[in-house]
Amino acid sequence: MTILVAGGSGLVGSAIVQEFLNNQVNVSGVSSTEVDLRERSETFEFIEKAKPKIIINAAAKVGGINYNSSNPVEFLLDNLKIQNNLIEAAHIHGVEKFVFLGSSCIYPKNCPQPIKEEYLMSGQLETTNASYAIAKIAGIELVKSYRREYGKKWISVIPTSVYGPKDNFDLKTSHVIPSMIKKFKHAIENDLSEVTFLGTGLPLREFIYSSDLARAILICVMEYDSDEPINIGTGSEISIKDLATLISSIVGFSGSILWDDSWPDGTPRKLLDSTKIRDMGWESKVSLEKGLESEIDWYSNSLRF
């Protein structure tokens, strides 16, 4: 085994595995059903046997704003365990390159826009996902520390919000796009005249299709070597209200869209400055509309089996 993708069966990990296979790169994914990365001994034993030269960490406990804010202990502890076990095992077993996936939520809530990598830890975090963000910040710092102390050629990448096939459609834990898709589909199937979403719908968000992110990560694995993290975003943003309108149009929901503004919105705006990755020759290829159509098709097909 040459490259190991932790979280290889999920939204991001499966896209990375497929992209590498498409480029004839020897890669294998591992999922939580095979190895519980929260368990130190289990993780170390697996890495020792697998002997990867490169590890890409796409494994994490993730979820939407309400799931984050309701489960801060689990988001902090589980993610720290996963990344710490993988990173330490990679060091002990001589992994040449480690790619740590952060998240755009690590940046301050009221960050200047577009967000440059240098803005990390320059202000207060959004409280609803602070535990998850702190875990990711710790991972970035740990990768940087291994570079400094041991001369590792390890890197951290910071993707914007990801969507695509194999997204999580569990309404208790899902992010905004799969949540909207499922609610609109449910409304159509049950002949409902309205759908309600939480918050005002005013925040602006940037989304990246999973295959576009996977292509960027392939480039980073091959070419990027810096102790500074690198942003990966499309450069385009949309309000949550406009996103709901777009998704409703694609799925064919013609009823009313309501907003419950008693719920928090989270960060008002998140748009990454992705100059570094674009300067390396990468650009997003999948428009938001085309990506949503693809995810909706995938979800619809998954319901048939």
Report residue 67's pLDDT band, with 50, 70 and 90 as the boundaries.
confident
Q: Which residues are catalytic?
A: 132
* pLDDT in the model for residue 281: 97
Residue 177 CA, chain-centre distance (Å), reads: 13
| pLDDT tens by residue, 174-232 | 999 999 999 999 999 999 999 999 999 999 999 999 999 999 999 999 999 999 999 99
For tokens 């997204």, what's the residue?
167
Report residue 303's pLDDT band, with 50, 70 and 90 as the boundaries.
confident
CA dist 299 and 28 (Å) reads 25
* pLDDT in the model for residue 168: 96
CA dist 280 and 62 (Å) reads 29
* pLDDT in the model for residue 243: 98
CA dist 115 and 269 (Å) reads 10
Averaged confidence pLDDT in the chain? 96
The separation between the first and the last C-alpha atoms of the chain, rounded to the nearest angstrom, is 32
Query: Mean of the pLDDT values across residues 252-274?
Result: 96
What is the share, in percent, of the chain residues with pLDDT greater than 70?
99
Half-sphere exposure of 39 (CA within 13 A, CB side): 9
Report residue 64's pLDDT band, with 50, 70 and 90 as the boundaries.
confident
- β-strands 155-159, 97-101: how paired? parallel
| Residue 205 vs residues 82, 138, 157, 213, 288: alpha-carbon distances, Å | 27, 24, 18, 16, 12
Amino acid at 206: E
Architecture of domain 3-166+206-236+271-286: 3-Layer(aba) Sandwich (3.40)
| pLDDT tens by residue, 73-120 | 999 999 999 999 999 999 999 999 999 999 999 999 999 999 999 999
| pLDDT tens by residue, 217-232 | 999 999 999 999 999 9
| pLDDT tens by residue, 25-57 | 999 999 999 999 999 999 999 999 999 999 999
Residue 238, phi-psi category: left (phi > 0), alpha (psi -120 to 50), beta (remainder): beta
pLDDT of residue 65 exceeding 90, the answer is no
* pLDDT in the model for residue 86: 98
pTM exceeding 0.75: yes
* pLDDT in the model for residue 66: 84
| pLDDT tens by residue, 137-187 | 999 999 999 999 999 999 999 999 999 999 999 999 999 999 999 999 999
pLDDT of residue 305 exceeding 80, the answer is no
CB atoms within 10 A of CB 261: 11
Domain boundaries along the sequence of the chain: 3-166+206-236+271-286
* pLDDT in the model for residue 1: 55
DSSP state of 196: E
* pLDDT in the model for residue 69: 86
Alpha helices in the chain (DSSP H): 11-22, 40-50, 65-70, 72-92, 130-150, 176-189, 210-223, 240-251, 275-279, 288-302
